[in-house]
Amino acid sequence: MAQSDLIRPHGSDELRILLLEGEQRKEGLKKAESLPKIELSSREVGDLIMMGIGGFTPLEGFMGHDDWKGVCEEMKMTNGVFWPIPITLSHDEKFDAGKEVALISGETKEIMGILKVSESYKIDKAFECQNVFTTAEEEHPGVQMVKAQKEWNIAGTVDVLSESYFPDEFKGIYQRPAESRAVFAEKGWKRVAALQLRNPMHRSHEYLAKIAVEVSDGLYIHQLVGKLKPGDIPADVRVKCINTLVNNYFVKDRVVMGGYPLDMRYAGPREGLLHGVFRQNFGCTHMIIGRDHAGVGNYYGPFDAQEAYHELWDGALECQMLPIDWTFWCYKCGGMVSMKTCPHDKSDRLFLSGTALRKALSEGGDVPAEFSRPEVLAILREYYAALKDDEKVEVKMHGHATGDAEQKKNKK
């Protein structure tokens, strides 16, 4: 099957790849040495790399004021293309339009790219937070990212010169959209479902994945390998868990695994929509949206992300949602089920969540055998046992992690 038979990239007939290679990259690196420097946050590095590899097609750089405002208010850029979350770059001083600046990783000090400035502008951070995260509370990790931004937003087109440490550190997992598309085409997959993961796969994740396999040509398990909030399980441990699960409990020809370099924003519904945008660029026709997708704490309802997909206007996004209800283990049913298939009471149910699993493991508590596969639990127990006291973070439970919120709703 030709790649042209796959779903087209978002807002474009072809991937918009901004990563320079070969001689062009060498020339770019030499040029960047003499340019003024802007240090990027971890989130900005991930966004830049995604633009470089075509994951953020059709973006050509960091957003200007009008695109920023349109995305915040209406999830739409000035050219009419749907986009749910602002992709911006901040700095503590402004630059005049037409000036070129080198983009440097604040973490590694590596030259990441060159930006040609189109404008510098200030934003109302509370306005962005309220629109994107539905809150401006400081406790929200995404709000913290926005509030930490510097005074000026610097917009402009970019040439990307590096993918940072991701290709080496996550060799065999990290993928560019052109690579995943080539795999799907080789396998003859037209209907491809994406599973977003920032946690090791417990039995609910596995159940969602296998539902998707049943109704698709194949499944793309797409793991975030960027930064997470404190207390979340790091990417290298998660990758090991998922590899073990897939190798032991899935038909290998029906699953492809990949990784992408973004930090989590924890933007709930808006981030769920962004997941659909770049999964389309990676060649996926469907995005699995289950309970509390990309959520944090009690900031979003358990199925707000599904509602966000339902409310999109026609033509906004070609990658369709594959919605799946709340899933759990039922002792009476003797397996994984959902609210749509299980008639039994709460006392017969074991609700599974990444939050509950992290809490039990971090506190050395018992984990029911039905929660996760034994091979996965062994890896996680080894990780938590090796943590020092100052590396441990208290994991707080919330209604979406325990099933209490859904149980109360069903009783009304």
Structure letter (DSSP) for residue 82? B
Strand, helix or coil at 262?
coil
Residue 82: strand pairing partners: 76
For residue 74, the surrounding DSSP H or E stretch is helix 65-74
Known active-site residue 291:
no
Q: Checking DSSP bridges between strand 320-323 and strand 100-105, what pairing results, if any?
A: unpaired
Are 188 and 159 in contact, with CB atoms under 8 Å apart? no
- Nearest-5° angle of CA 137, CA 41, CA 173? 105
- Terminal CA-CA length for the chain: 51
Distance set, CA 176 to CA 14, 164, 209, 358 (Å):
14, 13, 22, 30
Peptide bond just before 234 cis, omega within 30 deg: no
> What values do phi and psi take at 36, rounded to 5?
-60, 150
Cβ–Cβ contacts within 10 Å for residue 211, how many?
19
Cβ 83 vs Cβ 76: under 8 Å: yes
- Angle at the Cα of 31 (from 27 to 37), degrees rounded to 5? 140
Single out the catalytic residue among 131, 153, 199, 281. 199
* 43-58 CB burial, b ≥16 within 10 A, e <16: bbbbbbbbbbbbbbbb
Active-site residue flag, 153: no
| Residue from 43, 198, 238, 270 carrying the catalytic annotation | 198
Give the integer Cα–Cα distance in Å for 334 and 317.
38
Active site residues: 198-199
